[in-house]
Structure 1
Amino acid sequence: MRLLVPLLVWISFAVPGFAQRLAPPFSVTTIDGRRVSLDDLAGKVVLLDFWATWCGPCIEALPHMKRIAQEFADEPLVILSVSLDSDANDQKWRTFVARNQMTWLQARDGGFNGPTARLFGVTAIPHTFTIDAEGVLQDEQIGDAAIESKLRKLCDRARRMREGSRSEIALAR
């Protein structure tokens, strides 16, 4: 018991520190062949979603991801789903994305050893990372979790930042 209390105190201070870590710079090729990097998404909240066509829990979470995509369609939010399907499953992945009308950004990383999965330390899926408009990691979830309220707050902040930038530009003129 004496060791448990200090450990819990240490964990309580360690977890908030995650929110101050910058997201690692990454670049992926989307399903339509475009290159997208974290720099390209600056100023927007990014929901980075690691999944695979062979992952039962990922498929179960798909309706939730679709609802998020619809609910936040007019917000400064980009959903980027990164499949861990292997190169051998490329056509299966493409068919799955089309059949399930996954209309947000889609990329494939080639497995848990893919460059983006390694950068983020992905060892289980579904696995999501929420990155704020300034590129700071704000949240990490393994499994399907209700994250809408967190996304709403981050989108509101991103919108205010963007509006503040416009105001500063107008004042400079």
Structure 2
Amino acid sequence: ALVEKRYENMKEMLPGAPAPVAKLVNADGKEFSFADFKGKYIYIDFWATWCGPCIKEIPSLIELEKEYHGKDITFVSISFDKDADLQKWKNFISKRTMGEIQFRADAKSNERISKSWNIVTIPRFAILDREGKVVDANAPFPSSKEIRGVLNKLL
């Protein structure tokens, strides 16, 4: 039953599937959704402040974001930090030169995102098209050699 459920979740994340709806909140408490970025590709970083491998990817992500600045792509980071760690997350993103678009999933959204995207471990990266549909639910990491080729092909 668990395998079947995972398979169903994975089917929903195949290329061309609409991205799961999620309520995202920025550091100022303003709510957003993926629909707010329609018209551009979206490269999504699922991460958390307590995740060592996630933090290790940040410099490569920043470099990638600078390299593609002004192109038809938006870089969005979604933190899985718990509600109790809200201030820790805010401090973390303010002290580092993180990308401009930083969100944290609240407790309900966190669980919904994890299940619908079939996220078992982080960091995890994904790409959505201009209509908010999945291009790759398990995209190459920013530090990988493949990511630029993938993005260049889209853009």
Tell me the TM-score normalised to structure 1 length: 0.72
Residue 122 of structure 1: how far off its partner (Å): 1.4
Aligned to 2:43: 47
What secondary structure is seen at the aligned counterpart in 2 of 1:141? coil
Aligned to 1:152: 152
* Alpha-carbon distance in structure 2 between the residues aligned to 1:93 and 1:113: 14
Q: Is the 8 A contact 1:83 1:110 kept in 2?
A: no
Which structure 1 segments of 5+ residues have no match? 1-13, 157-173
Aligned to 2:22: 26
RMSD: 2.4
Aligned to 2:129: 132
Residue 128 of structure 1: how far off its partner (Å): 0.8
1:1-150 matches, cutoff 5 A: 18-110=14-106, 113-139=110-136, 140-141=138-139, 145=144, 146-150=146-150
* Alpha-carbon distance in structure 1 between the residues aligned to 2:94 and 2:152: 27
Q: Is the 8 A contact 1:45 1:78 kept in 2?
A: yes
Tell me the TM-score normalised to structure 2 length: 0.79
Which structure 2 segments of 5+ residues have no match? 1-9
Relative contact order (C-alpha < 8 Å, sep 6+): which is higher? 2
Figure out how many residues of one structure are paired with residues of the other and give that number: 141
For residues 111-152 of structure 1, what are the alpha-carbon distances to aligned partners after superposition, in whole Å with 9 as ceiling and x for unaligned? 795333333221110001100112221111375534122122
* Alpha-carbon distance in structure 1 between the residues aligned to 2:27 and 2:114: 17
